[in-house]
Structure 1
């Protein structure tokens, strides 16, 4: 048994005694887990499968929350017109107000037999790093003292746009990562997030989101990295490497199919067949498991063809573990286990829901223990549940705790947060990284006649009207999982907790010699047009008008984008479209900046605007990044991870479609041709892509080919281009996409500089799921296309695959290695 001795603050440190293999760091993880499982009672094994959200009890009471962080500075606020009604319920998880009441058991009681996880110590209330660290130590002491063997809990937190904590850096939303087409940058960002979290005792981060966009109306588009499986795969796996390299377990979500709900309704049913699921939705998860060696996966809330993901052994066990070899833990999305009863109706009650989820392959229930409670002990005793199923999940949780060092003899609650006093959650280094990410994510759609504002040969404007809700409210730069939008609307006196200059402020700094006139015009939501007249007059008196419109992220109806904030169509929210129309009618050149979490239909604006820019929620440094692009100081280099539609109602339609899903050919009145295609991005220089070469025109169905093309900066400014490789399967067993991205490279070039980009393409990259649901590579012609977007592919060739149709398994090649050659000068 484990002996203990008292420490300060009633803490207890386990002392290694002879034959305690489970506490011996010199023994293998398997040996340690075997030893510990043999010592645990069934009730203690079950205890490791649960969690407790202790600070959730405080979120309904602002005074209590403030008391938890008495030294928390208020931070800057905003002059936003979009305010939260103080009487409204603000949940940070679905149906939190309903289920929180069921989870108010004291932490001491919840941990009586041990506890798997502690939920969101930092991300539930505005608490300082020091205050949060003290709370982590306090809760860990309760957990270790309450149970017989003193096993600590894993502490998890959200980290989609940075560590979701008060005062932490807010990086761009995930959809902006997609716009960078830069896995290395995403990995560096994730590593910075992980370092901050690890320093404060956080063991697991609930990111990244690997859902592939299928319908732009879905509120959580902002949390995704785009509509292409390969782009999401590469960036998501890079995030996993960065976060886990810093010592924090990454969590893939939402497994799987969540983003394809009917009518883009959050938590809606997913009417998807196995083939589409396997070929479109699962590849990002497979790459992150097989190549990223991710440590955790979270189930989707959705049911796919009638089977809830949280109760699907085919998905959670056969595919994830038996096929892909996943060895980590599966954690439930918040209250997904009781949802099997209340939302899906596949379980009679919460106890039955717990059995279903556990048997399917969920190992830990989050955020509180409801379905994985001690009733599982009774189910085993009655023969309704095999103890081996409990052991299976407990083994995975305990192994993870061993790998995290939580069961080492020198681990203490105090030691887990030893660097708390040195942590600056919004350091200069973090902000520089956030700025780099923001600048690389802004997409120039059309320079028009006005951009850049300070271009050569064009006098700088003397007077600039800055209009629109996204010009004055810095919250529009942040996603729904950024702390200022996620939690702080409940605490308006706390401001934002970090410095976030608005676009108006950033433009004032960017254009010091210009006179800026600001008029809000309207709010993000609502139908109030009372500010139109002031905005129109400001535009009339200016040399140029910059109007910034788009989204304000929130949760469950408290925003125009974000979880539970789905859209009926792709019209700009509220009366923002009407505001833009009135500004365009003034005759003043109008530059339209869309700051949003989803693409909006811009067909009524493009061609009339003097410039058009898309910024996907660029984070705390978004104002500077957008202003830099507008002025010309920053060379725009972002490319679209989603299409920009022309019409608000011709959706859903991502670029990844079979022949019947594109064009209209006179057979329908709906034309889904985008205004700007997937992968598109303009700049203030020009690029040419040519010189396509294939190392062979025929390869076997298990061979590989090198595809190369030359990219040249033909303009007079340095810049980055994203070279993109697509394939088209000409004839197949089933319908195939007319185009599919299989490789990309971001290339930096000086003026009149050229580089050759080479892609190594294995035949496995043409694999798809055939009629019998086996993934195959088959002989035949494949079109090879290289260019700068799905709509601009000047380099084309035909590759023939020869030999027998080959069934490919889990050992297939998942990625397309790319090599960028040395720079060469070209004649002007």
Structure 2
């Protein structure tokens, strides 16, 4: 046994021993990957557009990567195997057999016999056939519940580990900057602190099962011009440092093992060749020691799309020097690395640096140990959607449903005749995000006739079960997308005969224009897709009370609709248990627990407008465009009532390295149990640079029985007021800070000034990033 194979030795010692034994070609092999199961699907007969795709420009780049067999790709070793389970509808046993086969090829084709890291997508659960589909990430954000999201991630991690997978390509730490962007559904909302807390919880949960979490997309992807996928981002460094990087920094501090760089360019510099981002910030400032992987085909994009290098060899050299380690999903550019080193065009130190990181992860995963076996135990017995998973999915779905306005009809009062209409009422696909297997991969296999792989009761089915005794008539009225209005008269007739209408409208997630939400499914404005607005106008004209449930991946403008409806609910793609959760919330059997992680716009234009705006970005008479939201960040109603009282701040003067405590008493003053989300905001009246009017600095989710009381205490460190100054150094400035507390951005009844005294203090990566919360029964 060689020293690098000896698990009793230190990992660093094993890695250096192995590195010293490797040729240039063997080192380069560890930085590549192979997506063997990626076969581009042809378009339908007569169609002009490409067939369904699960990655950008898949038809072009998969052809390039597909020219190389796995034996050829692995002849000097291989870094990663791409999506063995997530490329076609296979059972766990079939996927496990194929993964074992591919690992055997990798081991047997190379001199050193080093296995590859197997990675999969896992944003809403393992992206494989038959696996649990949890709510979309934007729904996690609506829970304001990091502990619950950590439980979900741990369950996803356990499923991945049982399948023999090593790395998951989640979570997204992108902060929403424009609601028109198709990938809003994959994010954790528009506030950096909310993204930080929930994303870090996901990282810790996933990695508790031994799975490497991958933070994406580093960075600026969500800030593209006009919300256009892959669009350039007009970002100054201060916006990057203050708004977009803090969630990644928090997740790195939480232990994330990998980072995926994004496709976009920031101020004309592609993220994949940005030394400032990948080395100075990520490595030097934050101390990140894991791997940086490319987004799929982002490395050849440097030549073909960004045009900052002449060819694929130039792309390989520039991105490796900038700090990137592994090219995904296929080795295209990195096949040039050996010649670049041999010809003296790339210093071997860059190659060694990246290989050392990859081998360290392989050693920590046990892939260098003798006797390692790629096949999981009894894969034929693996159940990917067990009751425990479904229970978590149900809790997240319920906890994420936002009651925007109960109106006059909610909770339902046992209506006798109910019309259930809308394109999201009886289509289970509308409950799932674009990275759920049924929406992400199954469209590539129209010949597959075995169903979605999991049980997903629709809203209509769930309401029939929930409202036993009621006469329910269903009429969809229209599709999510398209201009077909032929079904609207039937929906109007059903509504006119009913005591109550429940309309389910919103999105159908897809990829690259095949959905109304999802990757590559960006929009011009925030009107409901297709002719859904016409459908709602028509049924509202009947005079029958209409409850509207928006099932979507982004917020839509509801300003014209809200005054006319009898109740309004927002459900952010609630997953496989969404139907039961929605039915229970509508009936009142379950409490609506969600709060808005993005604002609900009043009008469809005038975008982008998220809440983190400076004074000149706020609604005013300066412009004729009203950007005030219909419902603000953090908003959400309940079926009970709460009283907040006895607000206090223990110190009103602290040093620039001190802290203060904020306290408030929360009482359930209603007649049923419920949940309130207490929110703490800070503002900086006078600063050396322009700052947002307010920013979220802490939150606490509090569930109370009737008349129960809880004291909420939040410990706020001065670091939570830090800003990026004119010299781009992060500093805590002396001066006055306003502390506001309440239950949404626009409902902040308590305010107190705190003065920071002493000299300005420069802070670094050791600064305090969170606001600890303590709940005490009163």
Pair 1:38 & 2:25 matched: no
- Quickly say closer, same or farther: Cα 1:111–1:323, change in 2 above 3 A: same
Pair 1:56 & 2:18 matched: no
Residue matched to 1:392 = 353
Pair 1:140 & 2:96 matched: no
- Tell me how far 1:763 sits from its aligned partner: 0.2
Once the two structures are superposed, what CA deviation does each residue of 1:221-265 show, in whole Å capped at 9, x if it has no partner?
000000000000000000000000011100000000110000100
Q: Which segment drifts farther, 378-387 or 156-165? A: 378-387
Of the three residues 753, 771, 777, the one matched with 1:798 is: 753
Pair 1:421 & 2:383 matched: no
Pair 1:302 & 2:264 matched: yes
Q: Which segment drifts farther, 608-617 or 747-756? A: 747-756
- Tell me how far 1:564 sits from its aligned partner: 0.2
Alignment of 1:589-628 (within 5 A): 589-628=545-584
Of the three residues 734, 738, 741, the one matched with 1:779 is: 734
Residue matched to 1:406 = 367
Q: Does structure 1 retain, via aligned residues, the 8 Å contact 2:41–2:53?
A: no
Residue matched to 2:234 = 271
Of the three residues 770, 788, 795, the one matched with 2:743 is: 788
Of the three residues 512, 516, 535, the one matched with 2:472 is: 516
Q: Which segment drifts farther, 39-48 or 417-426? A: 417-426
Q: Does structure 2 retain, via aligned residues, the 8 Å contact 1:689–1:795?
A: no
Pair 1:465 & 2:426 matched: no
Of the three residues 129, 135, 151, the one matched with 1:172 is: 135
Q: Does structure 2 retain, via aligned residues, the 8 Å contact 1:166–1:497?
A: yes
Of the three residues 285, 288, 303, the one matched with 1:326 is: 288
* SS of 1:710 mapped into structure 2: strand
| Count of aligned pairs | 775
Once the two structures are superposed, what CA deviation does each residue of 1:714-736 show, in whole Å capped at 9, x if it has no partner?
11110111000000011000111
- Quickly say closer, same or farther: Cα 1:544–1:85, change in 2 above 3 A: farther
Residue matched to 2:605 = 649
C-alpha separation in 1, matches of 2:774 and 2:91? 45
- Tell me how far 1:737 sits from its aligned partner: 0.7
* SS of 1:765 mapped into structure 2: helix
Alignment of 1:317-466 (within 5 A): 317-373=279-335, 375-414=336-375, 417-454=376-413, 460-466=414-420
C-alpha separation in 2, matches of 1:561 and 1:551? 6
- Tell me how far 1:423 sits from its aligned partner: 1.4
- Tell me how far 1:410 sits from its aligned partner: 2.1
Pair 1:24 & 2:6 matched: yes
- Tell me how far 1:61 sits from its aligned partner: 7.6
Q: Which segment drifts farther, 574-583 or 419-428? A: 419-428
Pair 1:487 & 2:468 matched: no
Q: Does structure 2 retain, via aligned residues, the 8 Å contact 1:465–1:517?
A: yes
Residue matched to 1:9 = none
Q: Does structure 2 retain, via aligned residues, the 8 Å contact 1:84–1:489?
A: no
Residue matched to 1:67 = none
Once the two structures are superposed, what CA deviation does each residue of 1:118-153 show, in whole Å capped at 9, x if it has no partner?
000011100000000000000000000000010000
Once the two structures are superposed, what CA deviation does each residue of 1:666-699 show, in whole Å capped at 9, x if it has no partner?
1111011000000001010011222211111100
* SS of 1:745 mapped into structure 2: strand
Residue matched to 1:634 = 590
TM-score (norm 1): 0.93
- Tell me how far 1:421 sits from its aligned partner: 2.6
Residue matched to 1:213 = 176
- Tell me how far 1:167 sits from its aligned partner: 0.4
Residue matched to 1:98 = 60
Residue matched to 1:184 = 147
C-alpha separation in 1, matches of 2:747 and 2:466? 33
Q: Which segment drifts farther, 34-43 or 483-492? A: 483-492
C-alpha separation in 2, matches of 1:251 and 1:306? 25
Q: Does structure 2 retain, via aligned residues, the 8 Å contact 1:448–1:610?
A: yes
Residue matched to 1:5 = none
Cα-Cα RMSD? 1.4
Once the two structures are superposed, what CA deviation does each residue of 1:195-244 show, in whole Å capped at 9, x if it has no partner?
00100010000000000000000000000000000000000000000000
Pair 1:753 & 2:708 matched: yes
- Tell me how far 1:85 sits from its aligned partner: 7.5
C-alpha separation in 1, matches of 2:329 and 2:743? 44
Residue matched to 1:563 = 519
C-alpha separation in 2, matches of 1:419 and 1:340? 43
Q: Does structure 2 retain, via aligned residues, the 8 Å contact 1:200–1:419?
A: no
Once the two structures are superposed, what CA deviation does each residue of 1:365-411 show, in whole Å capped at 9, x if it has no partner?
000001111x2111112211000100000000000000000111120
- Tell me how far 1:316 sits from its aligned partner: 0.6
Residue matched to 1:108 = 71
* SS of 2:15 mapped into structure 1: helix
Of the three residues 638, 642, 664, the one matched with 1:709 is: 664
* SS of 1:680 mapped into structure 2: coil
Once the two structures are superposed, what CA deviation does each residue of 1:471-490 show, in whole Å capped at 9, x if it has no partner?
01110000000000001122
C-alpha separation in 1, matches of 2:322 and 2:6? 32
* SS of 1:472 mapped into structure 2: coil
C-alpha separation in 2, matches of 1:527 and 1:811? 54
Q: Does structure 1 retain, via aligned residues, the 8 Å contact 2:507–2:517?
A: yes
- Quickly say closer, same or farther: Cα 1:640–1:328, change in 2 above 3 A: same
Pair 1:668 & 2:631 matched: no
* SS of 1:784 mapped into structure 2: strand
C-alpha separation in 1, matches of 2:343 and 2:104? 34
C-alpha separation in 1, matches of 2:663 and 2:218? 35
* SS of 1:476 mapped into structure 2: helix
Of the three residues 581, 593, 601, the one matched with 2:537 is: 581
Pair 1:678 & 2:653 matched: no
* SS of 1:235 mapped into structure 2: helix
C-alpha separation in 1, matches of 2:394 and 2:291? 34
* SS of 1:516 mapped into structure 2: strand
* SS of 1:506 mapped into structure 2: helix
C-alpha separation in 1, matches of 2:259 and 2:280? 14
C-alpha separation in 2, matches of 1:88 and 1:311? 30
Pair 1:498 & 2:476 matched: no
Of the three residues 572, 592, 599, the one matched with 2:528 is: 572
Gaps of 5+ in 2: none
Alignment of 1:801-812 (within 5 A): 801-812=756-767
Alignment of 1:76-91 (within 5 A): 88-91=50-53
Moved over 2 A (4+): 59-63, 83-88
TM-score (norm 2): 0.98
Q: Does structure 2 retain, via aligned residues, the 8 Å contact 1:519–1:538?
A: yes
Residue matched to 2:244 = 281
Q: Does structure 1 retain, via aligned residues, the 8 Å contact 2:43–2:52?
A: no
Gaps of 5+ in 1: 1-16, 64-82, 455-459
* SS of 2:590 mapped into structure 1: coil
* SS of 2:283 mapped into structure 1: helix
* SS of 1:289 mapped into structure 2: helix
* SS of 1:720 mapped into structure 2: strand
Q: Does structure 2 retain, via aligned residues, the 8 Å contact 1:595–1:616?
A: yes
Q: Does structure 1 retain, via aligned residues, the 8 Å contact 2:53–2:444?
A: no
Q: Does structure 1 retain, via aligned residues, the 8 Å contact 2:313–2:340?
A: no
Residue matched to 2:680 = 725
C-alpha separation in 2, matches of 1:422 and 1:248? 21
C-alpha separation in 2, matches of 1:614 and 1:690? 29
Q: Which segment drifts farther, 683-692 or 603-612? A: 683-692
C-alpha separation in 2, matches of 1:448 and 1:30? 62
Q: Does structure 1 retain, via aligned residues, the 8 Å contact 2:178–2:609?
A: yes
Residue matched to 2:273 = 311
